[in-house]
Structure 1
């Protein structure tokens, strides 16, 4: 066997000389293995023969297949690893038009609105908690509730109730969307939390189930399980997808004063006999066929919101006057207090020059949709960069 051993070593050396190298294991997470792709383009197997000098002696052939061995190992690691961390984009929305068509017996109002996701959003990071007792939420913005008053915690509690799963999380909310803005930032956070919890649990619920459950958290939450653009009716929970009604490269600017509008106070001042008489389906048809313009951007909540916050009415008028020819439409989103100018990412110059607007929130954005079975992703183009950040700070609770 000495001759065979020498010959085996000789053939092994020749294989090295011809380009074959044994795999090197590299660190990847808690295990040490070579990534699957390391052998892409390399031979699928290497044959090494060894035999003695005497004719007729038995030959020994070794077949070494690094692809098969390493791929099996990687598959086993992937199967057992599970998801432990997840970072998701949580975008907000605008109401391109918002009609209030009546009041329901349960006290809610009937609405008909074209909702559209936009590129301004928060980032939420989820990590599995080693304990099975409670969620822990932290954020970069002071004043945001960190207990079960926060819609993220409500969403996680709801998911556990509906599915019987017992995952708890450490969550960090990097807040970019201002509160009290009519942009649905909290509703988006809730929808994102439901999506995340489902990913950690192996997607035991369908998207349709998540959408149905989310209506128990808030009227705007089901919308975020659409493709990003939807005609919403009822309280807002009846969601009909509208495929790409507006181009994603159409820029806009968001301008929000420090003062917020109380949604309850806005609806309290709403007078149904003073709302628009235009059929919302006519508005929807106009947007989908001809795009966005000032005439279709009707918001029945503007008059009561302007009563609650008179300075908001002044802001809209000034943006309209200063942006004549620059913006296709200027309107308030939701119940306020954000004014949206569609057509340019730049605010009017008075926002920078007038001391009355030193503390306003300003951000550029664009329309955004998502792919089926995927969550929203933050765009990387310049048209979706963010303007003024919210005040920095930190808070957490255990």
Structure 2
């Protein structure tokens, strides 16, 4: 069978502090978008391959399925092939989405022996973002981003610019200093403004760190800002986006610089 695995953007992301486990406490708003990897699943010995040639042992899907086997107490006999369309190292959650999508589908194919809570526990052990993709649509993320609360779906047109650089999430988070932390956040106000279409409240404090590490991200951000848009870095980068359609200026500017441009919509699983 063939299934689609959507990308996401972080409409907003705020760093709240460092946790005892070494991760950062965050508040974020996730939005699934209409940019998809394609996943093909068939019966056979457990195997996970991708078009980008990610080694199986490093693939989040493979790690999640091996954990799933422990929960089930049995082997999983499915062969997985992932055609990658979502750029890697872009802050779009492609690997996390693949992980959650395969967990859901395999669980369905096996007659749903695992609960949603079981799937969440497996997903969060592999990737903080993966829990969101069990739900999709629009959602708030707290904790490491793995405490997910779906909210009213948004209907958005979004322009993504990928400046052809792979941003390491680990490297970006390791560069976070106290100055990047937000002491107090009015999360209810941010959510209300977002649902009312007041997008000026959105920002990504982690993205500011990413721009200092990767000049390509800063260039894309400044380019969109110069044209009058309100850009936001997704996740830890490197993708920069704004809410709205792509103008001819943006298209020509991206093409001139060799950046990839994606015109997407919010994806609510319909």
Q: Are residue 351 (structure 1) and residue 226 (structure 2) matched? A: no
Q: How many residues align?
A: 268
Local SS of the residue matching 1:305? helix
1:365 and 2:259 matched: no
Q: How does 1:247-266 map to 2 (within 5 A)?
A: 247=155, 250-266=156-172
Closer/same/farther in 2, CA of residues 292 and 171 from structure 1, 3 Å limit: farther
Separation (CA, whole Å) in 2 of partners of 1:243 and 1:352: 32
Query: CA offsets per residue over residues 310-345 of structure 1, 9 Å max, x none?
Result: 2311211111222x2xx5x42110000001121114
Q: How does 1:126-205 map to 2 (within 5 A)?
A: 126-129=41-44, 131=45, 135-141=46-52, 144-205=53-114
Distance of aligned partners of 1:353 and 1:108 in 2 relative to their CA distance in 1, 3 Å threshold: closer
Q: CA deviation at 1:230?
A: 1.0
Give RMSD over aligned pairs: 1.8
Question: Which residue is 1:317 aligned to?
Answer: 222
Counterpart contact for 2:232–2:240, Cα < 8 Å: yes
Q: Would you say the 8 A contact 1:99–1:280 is kept in 2?
A: no
Q: Residue 361 of structure 1: CA displacement? A: 2.0
| 1:338-382 deviation digits (Å, cap 9, x = unpaired) | 01121114461442563xx12x22211110113xxxxxx6xxxxx
**1:44 alignment counterpart:** none
Aligned residue runs from structure 1 range 294-305, under 5 A? 295-305=200-210
Q: Is the 8 A contact 1:253 1:346 kept in 2?
A: no
- Does the residue aligned with 2:58 lie in a helix, a strand or coil? coil
State yes or no: 1:282 paired with 2:189. yes
Q: Which has the higher contact order (CA 8 A, sep 6+)?
A: 2
CA change 1:209–1:346 in 2 (3 A) is: farther
User: Once the 2 structures are TM-superposed, how far is the Cα of residue 209 of structure 1 from its aligned partner?
Assistant: 2.3
Structure 1 segments of 4+ aligned residues over 4 angstroms from their partners: none
Which of residues 178, 186, 203 in structure 2 aligns to 1:272? Answer: 178
Find the aligned partners of 1:108 and 1:138 in 2 and give their Cα distance.
29
- Deviation of residue 139 (structure 1)? 2.6
- With the length of structure 1 as denominator, give the TM-score of the two structures: 0.64
Post-superposition CA distance 1:151-195 (Å, at most 9, x none): 111111111111123232221111100000001110001101111
Contact kept? 1:346, 1:364, Cα under 8 Å: no
Which string of whole-angstrom CA distances, capped at 9 and with x for unpartnered residues, describes residues 83-141 of structure 1? xxx21110011101101101111101000011111111101000010x4xxx2233323
Note if contact 2:180-2:206 (Cα within 8 Å) is conserved in structure 1.
Answer: no
1:281, CA displacement in angstroms? 3.0
The normalised TM-score by structure 2 is 0.92
Question: 2:122: which partner in 1?
Answer: 213
Q: Cα deviations across residues 35-81 of structure 1 (Å, max 9, x unaligned)?
A: xxxxxxxxxxxxxxxxxxxxxxxxxxxxxxxxxxxxxxxxxxxxxxx
Q: Contact between 1:100 and 1:272, CA under 8 Å: does it hold in 2?
A: no
| Residues 159 and 197 in structure 1, CA contact (< 8 A), matched pair in contact too | no
In 2, distance between residues paired with 1:268 and 1:367?
A: 30
Once residues 94 and 139 of structure 1 are traced to their aligned partners in structure 2, the CA distance between those partners, rounded to angstroms, is 22
